[in-house]
Structure 1
């Protein structure tokens, strides 16, 4: 196995029961890590904003400026809505549009816009599940501060690369990619998620 290449596609016939069990365990561990990271974001973001709103409201009841309470409640609502928006799976129908919207949301949250170079024709050849995974991949990297996103064709795969930040939970992404018939390539300076393209004759089901 090449250095940095975390996972290569393997056909179901080549997998032994032990390997399959390990893959399931790895996938569950990745999901647990993702849930833990989400809990941290909610705690440090929306929950803290709600605590501030609670104190501001209590102060307003005791005679402080009610405008401060309204502003705090509004900020808490914005933070909570942002967290809920991040939870929803996107990209399954139109990956380029979903990534453009993700970039706009990043700017609205005070982060830099994503530098997107996405081949729409390649994105359209991805199965819906792979498009959603590609979106989540960019979303995870954007939360870590990535700036450049590239999607191009690489043989029978769509190669999605993100640059500008360390990819969170790379092992989990390697497992997810393998489950979709792809792999995660970390042999270069920029991690690449390679996902299988539909055959030109197939329908996107």
Structure 2
């Protein structure tokens, strides 16, 4: 008897513990929460689909109305004439531009021929004149001087170049300009012999 009573008490305690547990309640609450979230998502998507269907329905109705609308008489011919006019204008513009390019090309070719003829005729003459000038004056130009026109005088007797540099009048800063290139006469300054423009810098 005592053992049966003890077993009954243990069973009652176990049942009491089971029914007093919050685990099942928490599981039910979690399921209800997920169900609510799914329902809200469904309603949101349902509303979006409904709006999309209404929008496309309006577009289809508008397209059907435009397709079924009767085109005014002569509209196609008018549209084709406008396109032909645009096409002709484009062709005319292209022809005008092509003619301009041809004229400019011909002009450039003529200019090139003139320059070539000038080069063939004038450059040899200039080279000859420079050669004669260098032979007579014994002046050799220093083409490496970029900031001024300069050169040197060769001694006629020895054929050797002198160490005296030559500059354009006014191109030398400091010092005295004494020896005239042309007449080789000693002068005290550039103004004393204004007839010549090239002097040796001492």
Larger fraction in helix: 2
TM range (shorter): under 0.3
* Structure whose CA Rg is larger: 2
Q: Which has the higher contact order (CA 8 A, sep 6+)?
A: 1
TM-score for the superposition, normalised by structure 1: 0.23
